[in-house]
Structure 1
Amino acid sequence: MWNFSRHGAYTVKSGYYQIMNNIMNHTQAHQKDGNWAKLWHISTPPKIRSFLWRAARDYLPCRIKLQSRNIQVPSQCVTCESGLENNWHIFIDCPYAKECWKVAKFEELVSQCAREEDSFPKWLFKSLNKCPTTGQPNFSAVLWSLWRYRNEKLWNGVSRPPHITVSLGFDMVLRWNQAQRKSIQGQNSISRRNENVRWTKPPEPSMKCNVDTALFKEQRAVGFGTVVRDSMGNFMVSKTCVTCGLFDVKEAEALALLDAFKWTSSLELQDVIFETDSETVVKTIRSKNVDYTEFGSIIFGCGVQSNSRSSPFFQNPTC
């Protein structure tokens, strides 16, 4: 008798529903309350957010936690060498932690939430909710720094005053946010530059050959892309290829241009204007200075090809 269908007969559908109900009930039983979305959106390095998640889930291997797994370790706090080492003690009750919170100007917030909550996960989420958005990164950094200091003292015998521990956390968050801003600014600059690039038709009866590259560092290769259009902008012919080797950007751009020179020559195309977006390559070819590097030898080949073709080339114009 199958008790999970109306007719008492087993079906794949009823079995599937029963299994899924068991999974959902098991999952809900292990869910912890808290604003998880806010935790994952704190403007702090990913490893600190990951640490916060582990702490909120009670996954940190503090000594009391290890003892509950039948691992033979002392129960005393590594940091202060007194008191039972659980999450609450490490981050709230430990005298060293209290000094760190005082230095970081979070002492009142920590104490208030500790009086209102009786478990570390609840304390953590309440503290994050009450902490201003601008203060959450530094608050998180102090927690992470306390855990880092605990591990460094345990494994390396490191000892340092609370203000240094706090400063290390604050500095890490500051440098990470600065790097994020520079990355965004760089992406915006590239986007603006790309928006301003305009392809212009070559004068009749010339053709224009545009060249670009792509680096594949993991595969130790470089890809070339070349396209030729007539004076009306109509597509004529194109080529893509991949060359094995480890090249820097300027070498790759120079190789792509040299390949384009040789390729259009093999097609017997005349009156070709070559256009590359590498200002370094253009300036170096036009320069009279001798370069004996690998890049210089490629540039020399480009110069020979250009002189033999009497074809000008330009950097991509902007407007």
Structure 2
Amino acid sequence: MLPAKSPLFKQIWKWHGPERVRVFLWRVAHESLLTNFCRVKRGMSSDSTCGECRQAMETTLHVLRDCPYAQEVWNKTCRGLALMQAFRGNLENWLLKNLFRSQHLRPDWSFRFGITLDSLWHRRNRAVFQNLVISSDQLVAEIQARIAPTLSRDFNQDLGSGSLYRNTEWTYPSTGTLKLNCDGAVARDGEASCGGVVRNSNGEFVVAFYGRLGRCSILEAELKAILQGTRIVLERNVGQVILVESDSSEAIKILNEGCSRVHPCCHIVREIKDLSTQLSRVS
């Protein structure tokens, strides 16, 4: 238990992010999450073992940082960003360093860190109470989708470099329409990745995806994000009308206007259009 006068409690209320997540962070700092370790202490259970790895007691630090599943998520979220800091220290120091002393890492790290903690806990609860299996790649895609409406970054820069803040509001698609929000990214070493999330007309989560693409251009990464999102909608048979939303105006333009056969992305554009014919409408 942290000391009552810990500076962490005062700082948490200054965290810039959703109020619900701020309250969650306060619960994390107070170690009041109903983990299996906490349940045993309260006489609610006799088993404190982590239900995910079955290797250690499920404490607050374990479920949010030290569990192999959590470490997979942090590795994919950090992409090599100060991993020693991300995985070091007791609960108080770990939260203080990552929530309030992380300006030297990247401007958006505090926000990204808080959202990741919240997502890890909610994923744990879905696994326990709904028996849902969510891979680390799927959770990373969900995290990216939660961050995207608030933060905008230059995808031509390394994921470990600075970010720009942008206040945007996610808008609901029309009734019966799915919205696909997707992104592509290319790091300085040329390694690319893509991810996205599909929501329905009520804003409810349908499916998410994330994947590494190897070396390719930023336009290829953006187009492959759209391709993968469209493919997943078809494979899961979750809807017939899709609204695609991408930060890449170039990707949207080439899909709307087409390209020559010698264009390096011609094969991706063709595949997207071929898949689109299997749906009622893609826009």
TM-score after normalising by structure 1: 0.43
Q: Would you tell me which structure has more helix in proportion to its own residues?
A: 1
